[in-house]
Chains A and B, each alone.
Chain A
Amino acid sequence: MKMILKGGRLIDPKNNIDQIAQLVIESDKITKISTESISSNGIEVLDVSGMIISPGFIDLHVHLRDPGQEYKEDIRSGTEAAAAGGFTSVCCMPNTKPVNDNEAVTHYILEKARKEGLVNVLPAGAITKGSRGEELAEIGKLKEAGCVALTDDGWPVMNSEMMRRSLEYAKTFDLVVMPHCEDRHLSEGGVMNEGRTSTEMGLRGIPCQAEEVMISRDILLAQLTESRIHFAHISSEGGVRLIRDAKKRGISVTAETCPHYFTLTDEATLGYNTNAKMNPPLRSIKDREAVKQGLKDGTLDAISTDHAPHSPDEKEQEFDKAPFGIIGLETVLPLALALVQEGMITLSQMITLLTVNPAKILKIKKGSLEAGSIADLTIFDPNEEWVVDATRFKSKSRNSPFNGWKMKGRVKFTIVSGKVVYRG
């Protein structure tokens, strides 16, 4: 199997490449990149003129809901959604039913992904048994089974001593720990950001400090243990500032944010819109701008989606009762491109946030376009305009706050190991 991509603008930030070039794929690998014309006799040609060829996007934070809640999403539908969004690899969170805190669950996920998955599925294992924050999970076994990171996502490890030991122990296996930062006492009963909007709507608020208190603690613990921490889904100005300061002081931390935090504010919840209910919650304008700034200056290393599918029945409830979370795999590209269009970040920065940096954080050999590497590619048209129609999502769920939005920029091809898995 041989294929040539012709006419595209190739952007590979890791190797400092940004040029119109042709790319040859043989079997599952990139075999040649050339600015000279390549004879295409008898070879499949993909004309990608006017499009951008990027290393395949890597999502550090998705919920595939499989095993246990397949009515929301499963590995098949979740990876189809990922492919449609331009992702060639996704790191799936362990808050499945049962929790991915032992190698049997990891094996199940990897086996099902091998059979049914369209993109690479990289499981994150739980830090603690049942993600209860009380006892270490069998981290060594999780690593051996194929987990690439550790997190109790959805739950903070509230006990500082437990968190310290987790970091120390995870270090032996060179696994990054990705905490969900939330002081559960400060956030108790909260359903949205605390501020003017929550006051007006009469909803219990979650202050930014619920996130910031835990980021502070975990920075201190990263310093103490000299372990690697990657902060998931940063939403607040204070959170960005704390991480920026920690990096300046040479502490080994990285962080991600999600498109909704740099696009929306808590006013999206007005009208009790449960498709704007997530955890951490959408914040104020000042937080949104700080998050953008964090992406611009490199404080935030990656854009993840925190793709969190829920069925319409679950979301069509009283705001207090509806579950937290929104889907995001299929809308990330245009939302990230909007930052490029407004001049906040460059195209190359955007691609770095979606490819090189996530690969570095997980320590996987992906995120660049060298000859000889596995052909995981995302090809998109940065100018195509379209209107989001949630009913056409590949995801099983529809809980997107962006339904009906006019977007600019669309994924045209997603290629995983040399195979086209999505055509837009």
Chain B
Amino acid sequence: MILKRKDLIALKELQKEEIELLLDTAVSFKEVATRDIKKVPALRGKTLINLFFEPSTRTRTSFELAGKRLSADVINISHSSSSAVKGESLLDTAKNLEAMNADLIVLRHPCSGSPYLLSRHLKSSIINAGDGAHEHPTQGLLDLYTIREKLGRIAGLKVAIVGDITHSRVARSNIAGLSKMGASVRVVGPPTMIPAEIEKSGVTVFHELREGIRDVDVILMLRLQLERQGKGLFPSIREYSELFGLNKENLKWANKSVLVMHPGPVNRGVEISPEIADGLSSVILDQVTNGVAVRMAVLFLLSGAST
């Protein structure tokens, strides 16, 4: 089976079968990481460009590692301080990359929808590594992978996503991916962080943490953007962490075998108390490990290779 698409921009657009193919492919790539020589020749001779308009060491490193393990040539371009500032448009930048014959372009950009702009103009495969508050599909996939790995299934699970849903691309990818795979999703946060009419995408909304995580199998905590304090979303970090931070006490409301996830980096003591972050329920480090395998699968399948 092969992935019949040029780009990976949103989980919302993927069929369930495509998600399954990506996850299954990732399983075999995770095995590569356990070898002495963590490298396969699948993408030898292919060029991968990491084009980051926003800093993100984690995601960039994960893609870089994924590309290198597949033997691709990997180039990192960080644009926050260079051409974009000089007024070069995203499209101009893209056309320059096209001229370098990039096969795969991984794009991180602060504007929602920007990968579509590139994909309309370029022959290269575009992989969305986070666009504004829209989607972060590889993060969604690695979360699905981790859940499936730890709990053996996704269908029928209850998942709570907690935090600033409005501004979270991780939330949107997870809502799309989890729903497609048959999980039921709730979102939890103060009303200032819940976007308009989100319930129309099939999720249930909670404004109280304990109610929101009652009997759930997975809790996905979002990173609180601390710089949003004072912008009317929440009054103080202290109050937020008291109301929406995960600790030993309120975690009891969830299922005993609950998984605690976080896309990282964690604001320790804000979203999650340290004992939970490092505790038995936490799979935060597994998420990081699985991220590389999932991204290898994405690069591999988009470059036209078949399993």
A199 and chain B: residue at smallest CB distance: B195
Q: Does residue A272 face the partner (Cβ distance < 8 Å to B)?
A: yes
Contact between A318 and B113 (Cβ–Cβ < 8 Å)? yes
The proximity string for A residues 300-341 relative to B, scoring 1 for CB distances below 8 Å and 0 otherwise, is 000000000000010011111100000000000000000000
Q: Does residue B305 face the partner (Cβ distance < 8 Å to A)?
A: no
Q: Does residue B132 face the partner (Cβ distance < 8 Å to A)?
A: yes
Q: Residue A199 contacts which of B91, B132, B201 (CB distance < 8 angstroms)?
A: B201
Which segment of A8-16, A200-208, A378-386 sits at the interface? A200-208
- List residues of chain A with CB within 8 A of the CB of B90: 317-318
Contact between A199 and B196 (Cβ–Cβ < 8 Å)? yes
Task: For chain A, residues 182 to 219, give those with C-beta under 8 angstroms from any C-beta of chain B.
Answer: 194-196, 198-205, 207
Contact between B117 and A202 (Cβ–Cβ < 8 Å)? no
B176 and chain A: residue at smallest CB distance: A200
**How many A residues are at the interface, by size bracket?**
20 to 34
Contact between A202 and B116 (Cβ–Cβ < 8 Å)? no
- List residues of chain B with CB within 8 A of the CB of A204: 133
Contact status of A201 and B195, CB under 8 A, knowing A317-B90, A318-B90 = no
Contact between A199 and B198 (Cβ–Cβ < 8 Å)? yes
A200 and chain B: residue at smallest CB distance: B201
How far is it, in angstroms, between the C-alpha of A316 and the C-alpha of B117 when the chains are bound?
Answer: 8
Contact status of A202 and B134, CB under 8 A, knowing A316-B117, A318-B114, A318-B117 = yes
Q: Does residue A271 face the partner (Cβ distance < 8 Å to B)?
A: yes
The smallest C-beta distance from A195 to any residue of chain B, in angstroms, reads: 5
The smallest C-beta distance from B229 to any residue of chain A, in angstroms, reads: 17
- List residues of chain A with CB within 8 A of the CB of B114: 318
Contact between B111 and A318 (Cβ–Cβ < 8 Å)? yes
How far is it, in angstroms, between the C-alpha of A199 and the C-alpha of B112 when the chains are bound?
Answer: 11
- List residues of chain A with CB within 8 A of the CB of B111: 318-321
Of listed A194, A271, A313, A320, residue having the most chain B CB within 10 A: A320
Contact status of A202 and B132, CB under 8 A, knowing A318-B109, A318-B111, A318-B114 = yes
Task: For chain A, residues 314 to 371, give those with C-beta under 8 angstroms from any C-beta of chain B.
Answer: 316-321
How far is it, in angstroms, between the C-alpha of A200 and the C-alpha of B171 when the chains are bound?
Answer: 11
Q: Does residue B197 face the partner (Cβ distance < 8 Å to A)?
A: yes
How far is it, in angstroms, between the C-alpha of A319 and the C-alpha of B132 when the chains are bound?
Answer: 11
Contact between A317 and B89 (Cβ–Cβ < 8 Å)? yes
The smallest C-beta distance from B163 to any residue of chain A, in angstroms, reads: 15
Q: Does residue B7 face the partner (Cβ distance < 8 Å to A)?
A: no
How far is it, in angstroms, between the C-alpha of A111 and the C-alpha of B59 when the chains are bound?
Answer: 59
Task: For chain B, residues 169 to 199, give those with C-beta under 8 angstroms from any C-beta of chain A.
Answer: 169, 172, 195-198
State the majority secondary structure of interface residues on B: mixed
- List residues of chain A with CB within 8 A of the CB of B110: 320
How far is it, in angstroms, between the C-alpha of A409 and the C-alpha of B133 when the chains are bound?
Answer: 42
How far is it, in angstroms, between the C-alpha of A317 and the C-alpha of B133 when the chains are bound?
Answer: 17
Q: Does residue B12 face the partner (Cβ distance < 8 Å to A)?
A: yes
How far is it, in angstroms, between the C-alpha of A207 and the C-alpha of B197 when the chains are bound?
Answer: 12
Q: Does residue B64 face the partner (Cβ distance < 8 Å to A)?
A: no
Contact status of A317 and B117, CB under 8 A, knowing A195-B196, A272-B112 = yes
Q: How many A-B residue pairs have CB under 8 A?
A: 65
Contact between B91 and A316 (Cβ–Cβ < 8 Å)? yes
B197 and chain A: residue at smallest CB distance: A196
Q: Does residue B35 face the partner (Cβ distance < 8 Å to A)?
A: no
Task: For chain B, residues 124 to 177, give those with C-beta under 8 angstroms from any C-beta of chain A.
Answer: 131-135, 169, 172
Q: Residue B113 contacts which of A199, A203, A205 (CB distance < 8 angstroms)?
A: A203
- List residues of chain A with CB within 8 A of the CB of B135: 202
Contact between A319 and B197 (Cβ–Cβ < 8 Å)? no
- List residues of chain B with CB within 8 A of the CB of A319: 111-113
The smallest C-beta distance from B94 to any residue of chain A, in angstroms, reads: 11
How far is it, in angstroms, between the C-alpha of A321 and the C-alpha of B89 when the chains are bound?
Answer: 10
How far is it, in angstroms, between the C-alpha of A201 and the C-alpha of B132 when the chains are bound?
Answer: 9
Contact between A272 and B91 (Cβ–Cβ < 8 Å)? no
How far is it, in angstroms, between the C-alpha of A271 and the C-alpha of B116 when the chains are bound?
Answer: 7
Contact between A200 and B196 (Cβ–Cβ < 8 Å)? no
The smallest C-beta distance from A65 to any residue of chain B, in angstroms, reads: 21
B112 and chain A: residue at smallest CB distance: A202
- List residues of chain B with CB within 8 A of the CB of A198: 195-196
How far is it, in angstroms, between the C-alpha of A205 and the C-alpha of B111 when the chains are bound?
Answer: 14
Contact status of A203 and B112, CB under 8 A, knowing A318-B117, A320-B132 = yes
Contact between A272 and B117 (Cβ–Cβ < 8 Å)? yes
- List residues of chain A with CB within 8 A of the CB of B201: 196, 199-200
How far is it, in angstroms, between the C-alpha of A160 and the C-alpha of B266 when the chains are bound?
Answer: 45
Contact status of A202 and B169, CB under 8 A, knowing A316-B117, A317-B89, A318-B90 = yes
How far is it, in angstroms, between the C-alpha of A195 and the C-alpha of B114 when the chains are bound?
Answer: 20
Q: Does residue B200 face the partner (Cβ distance < 8 Å to A)?
A: yes
Contact between B89 and A195 (Cβ–Cβ < 8 Å)? no
- List residues of chain A with CB within 8 A of the CB of B132: 202-203, 320
The smallest C-beta distance from A254 to any residue of chain B, in angstroms, reads: 31
Contact status of A202 and B196, CB under 8 A, knowing A318-B109, A321-B111 = no
Since A272-B116, A318-B114, A319-B112 are in contact, a sample of 12 more A-B pairs with Cβ atoms closer than 8 Å, ordered by chain A residue number, is A194-B196, A200-B201, A201-B112, A202-B112, A202-B113, A202-B134, A203-B112, A203-B132, A203-B133, A204-B133, A318-B109, A320-B111
11 pairs, A vs B, C-beta closer than 8 Å: A196-B200, A199-B197, A201-B112, A202-B132, A202-B135, A204-B133, A207-B196, A317-B91, A319-B111, A320-B112, A320-B132
List residues of chain B with CB under 8 Å of any chain A CB: 12, 89-91, 109-114, 116-117, 131-135, 169, 172, 195-198, 200-201
9 tightest A-B CB contacts, nearest first: A272-B113, A202-B134, A202-B133, A318-B111, A199-B195, A202-B112, A196-B197, A320-B111, A196-B200
